């Protein structure tokens, strides 16, 4: 348990990098987010979605649609 669960690339975010925000409803969670959260990368930007939103967005994510249309 010496090292944190690295995900390969450090995104160099400023102060708030220790929390994640749902890209849809805006709910916040500590880093790392629960396994029920979904992470997707759109236009090179990592976005997280909470369990409820992820479920609704699953089709959109699989359809490779941008989340901007919501
Ligand atoms: Zn949400």
12-20 long-range contacts (CB < 8 A, ≥24 apart) are: 20/48
Each domain of the chain, given as residue ranges in start order, spans 19-65
Contact present, 35 and 26 (Cβ < 8 Å): no
| Distance from Cα 12 to the centre of ligand 1, integer Å | 23
pLDDT digits (tens, 9 = 90+) for 2-46: 656 655 555 555 555 688 999 999 999 998 889 999 888 888 988
Q: What is the Cα–Cα distance from 63 to 25, expressed in whole angstroms?
A: 20
Q: Is 55 helix (H, G, I), strand (E, B) or coil?
A: helix
- pLDDT for 47 equals 87
| Distance from Cα 44 to the centre of ligand 1, integer Å | 20
Confidence of residue 70 (pLDDT cuts 50, 70, 90): low
Is 13 exposed, middle or buried, given 0-12, 13-18 or 19+ CB atoms closer than 10 A? exposed
| Distance from Cα 53 to the centre of ligand 1, integer Å | 4
- pLDDT for 55 equals 87
| Distance from Cα 21 to the centre of ligand 1, integer Å | 8
Q: Which residues line ion ligand 1, judged by CB < 5 Å?
A: 22, 24-25, 50, 53
């Amino acid at each position: 348990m010496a090292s944190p669960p690295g995900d390969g690339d450090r995104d160099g975010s400023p102060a708030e990098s220790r929390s994640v925000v749902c890209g849809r409803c805006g709910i916040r969670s500590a880093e790392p987010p629960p396994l029920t959260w979904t992470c997707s990368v759109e236009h090179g930007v990592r976005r997280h979605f909470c369990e409820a939103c992820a479920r609704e967005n699953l089709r959109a994510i699989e359809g490779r649609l941008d989340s901007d249309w919501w």
